[in-house]
Structure 1
Amino acid sequence: MLGLFVNASPVPATISININNNVTECQTQACVDAAKAVKDYIDFNADPCTDFYQYAYVGTFDTVNDENIDIIGDILQGTYDDLITNSKKSKENFHDIGGNDENNDQSDIDKQNFHELQDYYNSCMDTVNIDALGATPVYPMVAKLLKTFATYSDSDNTETKFGTKHTDLLTDALIELYHHGIESVISIVIDADGKHPDENSIQISQPSLILPSKEYYEQKDTLETYRTGLVEILISMIGKNDDTLDVPVKQLQQQKAKESNIQLLSKEQIQDMVDRAVKFEAKLASITLKEEQMQDPVKLYNPTSLAEIQENYSFINWKKLLEAFITDETLIPNTLIVTTPSYFTDLTHWFLSIDNDGQQSGVSLQTMKEYFMIKILKTWLYALDTDTRQQWRHTWAKISSGTFELSPRKRTCINNVVGSFGDMIGHYFAMRRFAGEEEERKQVDDFVTKIHNVWLDRLDDVDWLDPETRQAAIEKVGKIKHKIAYSIASPDVRSPASLRDHYKPIKIIKKSFFANEISFMKWSTKRAWSKVGKPVDKEEWAMSPSDVNAYYSRSSNEIAVPAGILQKPFYNYEAPWYLNYGSIGAIIGHELTHAFDSAGRMYDGTGKLENWWSPETAKHFEGQSDCFVKQYNDFIVEGPNGRFVNVNGQLTLAENLADNGGIAASYQAFQKIWSEPQLSGQQHAKLPGIDLSPEELFFTSFARTWCSATRPEALVEAVYTDVHSPERYRVIGTVQNSVDFAKVFKCPQGSPMNPEKKCVIW
């Protein structure tokens, strides 16, 4: 994708007539810029009917996300006065977002918020102090874990197996880990209840492991790379004879270890510890469900009484665990949602297994302790010194990412700001990049509404829907809500006071990045648990204003389109709208289609998990879904060392349905606006010097959205873990099923991009 500066305007692009050849061309600067971009990214020597992705994508482009990173970096490295001045120059009505001109009583709060962000950012950029501490900031966490296990004198004995008498010990250890933002053998989420979408429920599930997915633990070479890398990293972090460390860092580690009452380990001890921990985690992985098994919301919704959970999964004290985070005992629910019952059953049998002699035979306390310690070190190493992070990156590159170099520190710290203070930095981002309430936010909502209405109209043309199911679908589409650009409540991104109150519990220390991360983690954890017993906050967003993304929420039946994606090349009000409909239009159509994908269709218009489909229509949907599964299963990616892996059509089904339905809806909306007199000329105007029709440019704009360069290692990881298909096949798979695409590019039937068999649902 090519990242360009967006300068939205309420004035549509002007059209001029080229007298020489009597062809209508758009001659505005926006059209000139768009034409240049088209020349840069289209391979006119390629055949669009053979490989449309190759045709639509040449070279490597900067992404919009890169541009947003640069904008946020400029904001954080500048002064508050510069920010206000630049905002005024670029957007006369910036106060619609900022609410902070000189006469506004929130200006002082806004300036204080800005300086808080700068202090946090600067603490992250202060690598001199961070590097001087080595791995020592994490020692107190390790010490607390060891102290928990020390309450049992036999926990250091490799022969002592976990049993029923140790359930309080494991419970205390899990509580300690959760207090530090770490999940180990269970995952707990507080989120909207499937059957009661206005209420929050506690949902317990299998945990995320250190390696990307279950498949990695089944590969001997990967496990060996992982094991070797862990040994090297742990020697650096908690080893007592690491000659690679600078003398001051080594001395500090010895001092802090003594103060924390933890023992630094020899290389041999670390090797033995890693061997046990990796075997433990591999066993843990073996009882988890694969990603494609986690996509059916009906199978994941298993309300279970707390008493039944305690009886069936008795390896911990569940009530004690909940009481550690829910201070009001009356709010502890009688029922939890168990998303992966088979995992908890297998985990219980493993942990509490007994041999033929009646002795515990599952897992040793020492192995548990060591694995938990490794989880602490791995979870928090991102906030530690450069050497530690570089060591992990080197190991991870071999396993998954393929990228051996650390990201530039500036980029890392900007991402940390967005991750921790997304709404607050989004406030300033919107001031710089968004044109305010009246000028742009409502314009985008009108654009979304056009595609929304087309989706509603399209339901009348779906011949396999019976009348009752069709009516229910129409009602659901009619209830889909739009969120545009940024949140206006919980918090209100426009309001400095709202943002201050939202983030107030986080305490920023100028010279301590690690302490700041601890403060954020505690706030985030407490905020999550505070939702127990409260209704779902439907105003809350799941993304930040600067995110280059969009989403659909099943439980709220709403789509959200952050400000970060509302710029070139996705959206530019000044450009011909066939470019907008091909990019942001297809994205909006994609999100709307999620309401009727393989999972979204199981929720009604109120966000309730409810079967509103007749048996006949459900059967047809599933049959057509199988067509998509088979189609995408046949796509292949090339990993490292000449290894080939097939795309997982079942894992990616929901997203593939959304891609296909999204472009169909957007193309229909694009065709519909031709009938609007004030827009029709603009839609037919060609880009200067580009011999492509508006229809052809619609599809190239769509393909450009997914242009990317991905390393082979990362491609394989995506196949195992990502619910989206690789970008190449998001384009190819979609256009292969599009009759409109085949007509526009005049692709012969049976050509690679126009196969005879097409998969269509919506």
Structure 2
Amino acid sequence: MMALGMALQLVQRVQHPSNNKVEDSGNVKRYRLDQDSIGYFRIRVIRSIVTGESMDLSTSSVSESAQRNMQKLKDLYTSCMDEEQIAKAGRQPIVGEVRKLLDMFPVSDSILSTAQTLDPSLRSVSKIDGTALSMTFAYLNRLGLDSFGSIRVSTDSKSPTKRVLELTEGGLGLPSKEYYLDDRIMGIYEATVGKMLHLILGDNDIATTSPGAESTKTTESTKWDAISKDIVEFEKELTAASTDVSDLRDSEKTYNPRSLDQISLTTGLWTSPKTLQNYLIWNLIRQLAGSLALSYYQPLRELNAALTSVSADVVPDRWKHCVSVVNRQLGDMAGQYFVEESFKGESRNQVHNMIEALCESYLKAFPTLEWLDDATTTGAIKKMKAIVQLIGFSTDSPNMRVSQWSVDKAFREVSQPVNMLKMHMLPQTVNAYYSSTQNQIVFPTSILQPPFFHTENPEYFNYGGICVVAGHEITFQGL
């Protein structure tokens, strides 16, 4: 009865047809069933709470003991919320990045470099400059942008104490290669590319032009349509070289050690330089447009609506976007305050003890499983005893920089030992994971909240919550 009472107290649904609100009188406080969310699961409830709490931290008064750090959080959050200033900046922030890219990878017959918004005095080449292409790819990767793929510092899955450079495939503007087989989606996508190029690089800033004036730009629109077709056709070619999803999940098939010289020999340079330039510019625009005013990325919202069935007319709350910016740019710093607010007392020790008990139950069960042979049972027990718990937050001292600095730092770690105490999720992330290379189960602070866990819950209530999550992650050991 106590558990039932807590469950009823945890979430009491109150109908509000006009705004889809759900309220409660217990730990969940108040949240909303957002129209910009595809599904509804209890983990979404927690995520809504967490983003709300993160927002409260970002807008709270600055304490004397942490004034400098809190001020950074507040400055970042308030600047993101300043939509008036963002609107004044228009499209110029991205246009500036496009100019840099055109300068790094110039093409003699480029259509893009003749746009009035760009510098027309760029040097020209008639064939692909491999060095220029490599430098451009490196620059985009340093900005954290995906192009043909991405390079990151990772752990060697067959030698987990060593770091390696990991090259992963990418470069598609749609979620997976299967979408490129759908003619309807491809029509929408190609139109989206053309509209976005026109918005960001058009001769006039059509996002601030009246509809009547916009309709006269038929010649220029045709130019962007031609470029968008070129880009989409190239992406279709990429899908032919892309790995199937099932193979991407196969750790053996994705483990392919290569030297830099070997990688260079596997990549040809037969694509038109103009096509590559068009494609690289589109990738930059596609991934950075969300930082501009809404009018500049509305076509991308309409594309997302076609892919997800979430209406393009539903505009997410600005504060949610800004919380994600804070988490992305200053996540560890924000996480410190989130942990202080949301993970007090003996929470960490309590979760640790519960997971220890869960692991003990696995150890007792292994010898009784008839379908496990002796060698597998011995290996499973050894692996289970060695599993490492990371609960709530990292115990190392993270650095607090972003973007280019963080990428540079990651690459410097290639020759350093693997930090076994570092979480690869922020404390305010609603999730958990198992690391196969480090034999770790990791539970950020955010998932250690009701309904999964609370220090005042009866033990069996917590076992039915967070230990279900823990058991799920442990099964990824592949025992």
TM-score bin (small chain): 0.7 to 0.9
Give the letter aligned to residue 440 of structure 1: S
Pairwise CA distance, 1:401: 5.2
| DSSP-derived class of the 1:296 partner | coil
- Does 2:350 correspond to 1:443? yes
Give the letter aligned to residue 407 of structure 1: P
Identity of aligned residues (%): 29
Render the CA deviation track for 1:427-448: whole Å, top value 9, x for unaligned: 1111111114xx2211111111
Please name the residue that 2:140 is paired with: 177
Render the CA deviation track for 1:351-372: whole Å, top value 9, x for unaligned: 43xxxxxxxxxx2111110110
Structure 2 unaligned residues grouped into runs of 5+: 15-39, 113-123, 214-218
Give the letter aligned to residue 483 of structure 1: L
| DSSP-derived class of the 1:421 partner | helix
| DSSP-derived class of the 1:304 partner | coil
Pairwise CA distance, 1:210: 1.4
Please name the residue that 1:213 is paired with: 176
Pairwise CA distance, 1:390: 3.0
Pairwise CA distance, 1:162: 8.5
Pairwise CA distance, 1:293: 1.1
CA contact (8 A) 1:127 1:386 kept: no
Pairwise CA distance, 1:464: 1.9
Distance 2:248 2:102 in 1: 34
Query: For this pair of structures, how many residues does the alignment match?
Result: 436
1:79 to 61, 67, 71: 61
Pairwise CA distance, 1:546: 1.4
Please name the residue that 1:592 is paired with: 474
Pairwise CA distance, 1:161: 11
Equivalent residues in 2 for 1:305-320 (5 A)?
Answer: 305-310=259-264, 312-313=265-266, 315=267
Please name the residue that 1:65 is paired with: 47
Distance 1:60 1:149 in 2: 46
Equivalent residues in 2 for 1:528-547 (5 A)?
Answer: 528-547=410-429
Equivalent residues in 2 for 1:142-291 (5 A)?
Answer: 142-150=98-106, 153=108, 166-241=129-204, 243-246=206-209, 266-291=220-245
Distance 2:109 2:296 in 1: 32
Please name the residue that 2:297 is paired with: 389
Distance 2:231 2:463 in 1: 51
Give the letter aligned to residue 145 of structure 1: L
CA contact (8 A) 2:108 2:126 kept: no
Pairwise CA distance, 1:537: 1.4
Please name the residue that 2:81 is paired with: 125
Give the letter aligned to residue 420 of structure 2: K
Pairwise CA distance, 1:176: 3.0
Per the alignment, do residues 590 and 243 of structure 1 end up closer, same or farther by CA in structure 2, a change over 3 Å counting?
closer
Q: Which moved more, 1:545-554 or 1:230-239?
A: 230-239
Give the letter aligned to residue 53 of structure 2: I
| DSSP-derived class of the 1:375 partner | helix
Per the alignment, do residues 135 and 39 of structure 1 end up closer, same or farther by CA in structure 2, a change over 3 Å counting?
closer
Render the CA deviation track for 1:710-739: whole Å, top value 9, x for unaligned: xxxxxxxxxxxxxxxxxxxxxxxxxxxxxx
Pairwise CA distance, 1:528: 2.0
Render the CA deviation track for 1:593-618: whole Å, top value 9, x for unaligned: 1111xxxx5xxxxxxxxxxxxxxxxx
Pairwise CA distance, 1:375: 0.7
CA contact (8 A) 1:31 1:575 kept: no
Pairwise CA distance, 1:153: 3.7
Distance 2:198 2:250 in 1: 42
Distance 2:368 2:454 in 1: 31
Please name the residue that 2:91 is paired with: 135
Pairwise CA distance, 1:80: 2.5
With CA pairs under 8 Å and 6+ residues apart, which has the higher RCO, 1 or 2? 1
Distance 1:244 1:488 in 2: 47
CA contact (8 A) 2:390 2:421 kept: no
Pairwise CA distance, 1:534: 1.3
Pairwise CA distance, 1:215: 0.4
Give the letter aligned to residue 201 of structure 2: I
- Does 2:325 correspond to 1:416? yes
Give the letter aligned to residue 79 of structure 2: S
- Does 2:308 correspond to 1:400? yes
Per the alignment, do residues 215 and 189 of structure 1 end up closer, same or farther by CA in structure 2, a change over 3 Å counting?
same
CA contact (8 A) 1:390 1:406 kept: no
| DSSP-derived class of the 1:210 partner | coil
| DSSP-derived class of the 1:191 partner | strand
Please name the residue that 2:6 is paired with: 33
CA contact (8 A) 1:226 1:399 kept: no
Per the alignment, do residues 71 and 186 of structure 1 end up closer, same or farther by CA in structure 2, a change over 3 Å counting?
closer
CA contact (8 A) 2:207 2:296 kept: no
TM-score, scaled relative to structure 1: 0.54
Pairwise CA distance, 1:240: 1.5
Equivalent residues in 2 for 1:316-715 (5 A)?
Answer: 348=268, 351-352=269-270, 363-400=271-308, 402-404=310-312, 405-436=314-345, 439-491=346-398, 502-503=399-400, 506=401, 520-596=402-478
| DSSP-derived class of the 1:289 partner | coil
Give the letter aligned to residue 383 of structure 2: K
**Highest CA radius of gyration, 1 or 2?**
1
CA contact (8 A) 1:80 1:114 kept: yes
Distance 1:458 1:40 in 2: 40
Per the alignment, do residues 32 and 399 of structure 1 end up closer, same or farther by CA in structure 2, a change over 3 Å counting?
closer
Distance 2:79 2:207 in 1: 26
Render the CA deviation track for 1:20-43: whole Å, top value 9, x for unaligned: xxxxx54xxx863324458869xx
Per the alignment, do residues 422 and 60 of structure 1 end up closer, same or farther by CA in structure 2, a change over 3 Å counting?
closer
Pairwise CA distance, 1:583: 1.9
Give the letter aligned to residue 59 of structure 2: Q
| DSSP-derived class of the 2:148 partner | coil
CA contact (8 A) 1:200 1:534 kept: yes
Please name the residue that 2:121 is paired with: none
CA contact (8 A) 1:545 1:564 kept: yes
Distance 1:384 1:139 in 2: 11
Pairwise CA distance, 1:154: 5.4
Per the alignment, do residues 243 and 432 of structure 1 end up closer, same or farther by CA in structure 2, a change over 3 Å counting?
closer
Render the CA deviation track for 1:362-420: whole Å, top value 9, x for unaligned: x2111110110011111111111121133321222112352422311011101111222
| DSSP-derived class of the 2:464 partner | helix
Distance 1:431 1:563 in 2: 10
Pairwise CA distance, 1:292: 1.3
Distance 2:376 2:138 in 1: 46
Please name the residue that 2:30 is paired with: none
Pairwise CA distance, 1:200: 0.5
Distance 1:522 1:286 in 2: 32
Render the CA deviation track for 1:499-536: whole Å, top value 9, x for unaligned: xxx11xx4xxxxxxxxxxxxx32122212212221111
Pairwise CA distance, 1:195: 1.9
Distance 1:183 1:583 in 2: 37
| DSSP-derived class of the 2:297 partner | helix
Give the letter aligned to residue 368 of structure 1: L
Distance 1:534 1:373 in 2: 35
Render the CA deviation track for 1:319-351: whole Å, top value 9, x for unaligned: xxxxxxxxxxxxxxxxxxxxxxxxxxxxx3xx4
Pairwise CA distance, 1:171: 1.7
Render the CA deviation track for 1:288-339: whole Å, top value 9, x for unaligned: 01211111111211222333333x32x4xxxxxxxxxxxxxxxxxxxxxxxx
Give the letter aligned to residue 316 of structure 2: S
TM-score, scaled relative to structure 2: 0.84
Distance 1:371 1:432 in 2: 45
Distance 1:200 1:244 in 2: 46
Distance 1:561 1:119 in 2: 29
Pairwise CA distance, 1:244: 4.6
